[in-house]
Amino acid sequence: MGTFVDDILGHAARTPDRTAVTTPDGDVTYAELATRIERLAAVLRTRGAGPERVCAVAVPRGVDAVVAPAAVLRAGAAFLGLDVEQPPARLAELAASGGAELVVTTAESAARGGLPGADVPGGPVLVDAPATDGPTPAPEPESVDGRALAYVSHTSGSTGAPSPVLIERRSADSYLRRLVRDQGLGPHTVALQTAPQGYDAAVRDTFAPLLAGGRLVLVPRAELMRPDAFGAAVRRHGVNALLSVTPSFLAFLAGQPDARDLLAGVRLVVSSGESLRPFLAAGGRELVEGRLVNQYGPTECTMTSTRHVVPGGTGQRERSEGTGGPADVVGTPIDGVVVRLLDADLAPVPDGAVGEVFIGGIGVARGYRGLPARTADRFVPDPLGPPGARLYRTGDLAQAGPEGLEYLGRTDRQIKLRGHRVDPAEVEGALLGHRGVTGAVVTAERDERGRLFLVAHVTGDLSGTTDGALRTHLATTLPPHLMPRRFERLAALPTTRSGKADRRALAGSGGRS
């Protein structure tokens, strides 16, 4: 079986005139997309691209950002996506740690400078160079093994410097094909790309619709951040699928007065990257008229390991422990993935008990490039699997429920407060249930005596709402030990480049804008 790029090229052979990509500059057919991919792949092969060689992709949002990684894979090499809006020094650092030997960019970007071309051994390859200016195409390489490297994706760096994760071809192919089948994607799919460049979510966002033979819609990222422009793009292009939205982004939409209209016509919303529980606790399920899927999985396990279709109406299951509220169900493993709940000694926890999530199967990465100690710490032998099987230690806590895995938070985020184990997501969900709150992040700080307390950072129209009123609202669902000592009101919550709430920017800062 070929790669997912081969499948996309197959659509070009069968339905060459079907629109593959819609951009502000016009539509690109599958035939045109395939021609550009093959042309660039040929150039890359003449420059030495092949198995186990990494090509950094540093191109602006647009068709080139679709062509370049596909061409790298077609050439037999692996790609490293870079977000060209990030500082040049950071791009150079990511290219170096990811082992890039070539950099694919545009003529304009190369002329402007600021990209890591000079620091990459093989130098730049221009994605938009005319075919006549390129070298004579090299012959196609022999079939590339499924265990060859497909792409390098850096972790978010929430616990330190970003680590380069090595994902193999068989992992990417298996995941994308399973996503297409699980979510019923097909030629009818019109997906709006929302994930920023340089993150593994962009791989799903970009290639799943094309693998299904559907249409990918690209708009400037600035438009996605403005609710009116976002809604206009959905309506104008007939978007019916969002494959990579974070709960923070959904909460942002939910806080708009015309929230339901913004997603009108969207029949599939796939959320991942954060806990969905606060959004659900605030009644957010009613915002999505179609299918809402909660996906779970770290970068180290090829984007997604489990998924759960969130029922509408009153079908959401309540948590059995704590203060109640909807359970954060992340569901059952996708095909080829194994999920185990283990204790500190790597032994299975009893049924219904809380354990750390360990993930095995086809999605598990090779490890971290150039970080053998970290790889050995996070990727461990599977004590219950066949010889050679490995598990990834996620640092997440969960328990098994009737609908599958129930996510309970991070081992490094949960805190002990006055003898109680506290998950800040529980307080965030309760805050979002207030009609005036549009965003909420809860962090922990210490006072002058070293005592830990909670700080709630909130957004919304709260000019007429006192702290006392917020506490009264929380007291209807939360016990006293979960009550924030302080409320910080913000115009907007800071977010990371991947769209997640930036808790590090708030923790210890007092949260004042």
Instruction: Give me the mean pLDDT over the 49-70 stretch.
Output: 95
Q: Is the pLDDT of residue 72 over 70?
A: yes
Structure confidence at residue 119 (pLDDT): 65
What was the pLDDT predicted at 479?
Answer: 76
pLDDT at 281: 77
Cα 423 from chain centroid (whole Å): 22
Residue 158 has a pLDDT of: 43
User: Which of the four pLDDT bands, split at 50, 70 and 90, describes residue 270?
Assistant: very high
- 135 pLDDT band, cuts 50/70/90, is very low
Check whether 23 has a pLDDT greater than 90: yes
Residue 420 identity (one-letter amino acid): H
Find all residues with CB under 8 Å of 93, minimum gap 6, and list them: none
- pLDDT value, residue 128: 85
Could you give the 3-state DSSP secondary structure of residue 463? coil
Predicted confidence at residue 131, as pLDDT, reads 52
**Residue 220 binned pLDDT confidence (cut-offs 50, 70, 90):** very high
Q: In the prediction, which pLDDT does 297 show?
A: 93
Reported as a single tens digit per residue, the pLDDT across 84-113 is 888 887 888 889 999 999 999 988 877 776
Q: What is the mean pLDDT of residues 309-323?
A: 61
- What is the mean predicted confidence (pLDDT) over 111-136? 68
Report domain 415-506's class.
Answer: alpha beta
Query: pLDDT class for 317, splitting at 50, 70, 90?
Result: low
Look at 20-29, 281-290, 502-511 and tell me which has the smallest mean pLDDT.
Answer: 502-511
Q: What confidence category does residue 508 fall into, taking pLDDT thresholds of 50, 70 and 90?
A: low
Above pLDDT 70, what percent of the chain?
88
Same CATH topology for 1-144 and 415-506?
no
Annotation: CATH topology of 1-144: Rossmann fold (3.40.50)
The domain segmentation of the chain, as residue ranges, is 1-144, 415-506
Q: What is the mean pLDDT of the chain?
A: 87
Maximal CA-CA distance, the chain: 73
363-403 confidence digits (pLDDT tens): 999 999 999 999 999 999 999 999 999 999 998 889 999 99
- What DSSP string describes 105-156? E-HHHHHH--SGGGGSTT-EEETT--GGGSPPPPPPPPPPPTTSEEEEEE--
- Res 420: pLDDT: 63
Residue 403 DSSP label: T
pLDDT value at 425 more than 60: yes
pLDDT band per the 50, 70, 90 thresholds, residue 323? very low
Task: Provide the angle, in degrees to the nearest 10, between the axes of the packed helices 200-211 and 4-14.
Answer: 30
